[in-house]
Amino acid sequence: MAAEVRPRLTVLSGPSGVGKSTVVAHMRKVHPEVWLSVSATTRKPRPGEKHGVHYFFVTDDEFDKLIANGELLEWAEFAGNRYGTPRGAVLERLDSGEPVLLEIDLQGARQVKDSMPESQLVFLAPPSWEELVRRLTGRGTESPEVIARRLEAAKVELAAESEFDTTLVNTSVEDVARELLTLMHVV
């Protein structure tokens, strides 16, 4: 009998506003066994976000300690806030044979690839630049300055697509979620 192979860590990244959270939420509704790492962040919660469910909301000092103790698999600063993935929980889930998904930004995806070269990087691309602009401005949760910063960052993020193992174009949440599950060998 062949030994059980530890699943690969799958990293989903792409520009802000491309629909990563929406795809992941749909995927987890269909396949709740896929474990999504919960990131730590220094940003304030948006309406409806819960500590420990959407993010671990921490202070700058707490985040500094996580970095100093090597407790983050990756971390990055984005739009004036820091985000990071707790290392221990990810490794525990992978070791127990569970499929693990990280939904993180470009900087974080690069850090994960450096520390875990066997991970699978998936780039979520918008159907068009115009659609990405529409999604970012349509949120209504950010100031024009933050939107402008996110659009500038999106240009850089889109240019990094070739660094990824696979690209999925977000034309349909259901289709992208299904393709992602197939890449993760869940279906």
- What tens digit of pLDDT does each residue of 60-75 get? 999 999 999 999 999 9
Check whether 84 has a pLDDT greater than 90: yes
CA-atom Rg of the chain in angstroms: 16
Collapse the DSSP code of 109 into the 3-class scheme (helix H, G, I; strand E, B; otherwise coil) and give the result: helix
Q: Where residue 5 falls among pLDDT bands split at 50, 70, 90? A: low
CATH superfamily of 9-183: P-loop containing nucleotide triphosphate hydrolases (3.40.50.300)
pTM exceeding the 0.85 threshold for the entire prediction:
no
Collapse the DSSP code of 154 into the 3-class scheme (helix H, G, I; strand E, B; otherwise coil) and give the result: helix
Q: How, if at all, do strands 39-41 and 81-86 pair?
A: antiparallel
Residue that has been written with the tokens 């197939």 in this structure: 182
- What tens digit of pLDDT does each residue of 155-181 get? 999 999 999 999 999 999 999 999 999
Collapse the DSSP code of 52 into the 3-class scheme (helix H, G, I; strand E, B; otherwise coil) and give the result: coil
pLDDT at 3: 45
Q: How many CB atoms lie within 10 A of CB 26?
A: 18
Q: How far is Cα 110 from Cα 13, in angstroms, rounded to an integer?
A: 10
For residues 53-64, average pLDDT: 94
Q: Where residue 106 falls among pLDDT bands split at 50, 70, 90? A: confident
Q: Where residue 6 falls among pLDDT bands split at 50, 70, 90? A: low
Collapse the DSSP code of 89 into the 3-class scheme (helix H, G, I; strand E, B; otherwise coil) and give the result: helix
For residues 78-95, average pLDDT: 90
Spatial CB neighbours of 80, under 8 Å, sequence gap ≥ 6: none
**What are the binding residues?**
14-21
Q: How far is Cα 184 from Cα 100, in angstroms, rounded to an integer?
A: 9
Domain boundaries, the chain: 9-183
Residues of the chain with pLDDT > 70, as a percent, come to 96
**What are the binding residues for ATP?**
14-21
Answer yes or no: are the C-beta atoms of 133 and 150 closer than 8 Å. Answer: no
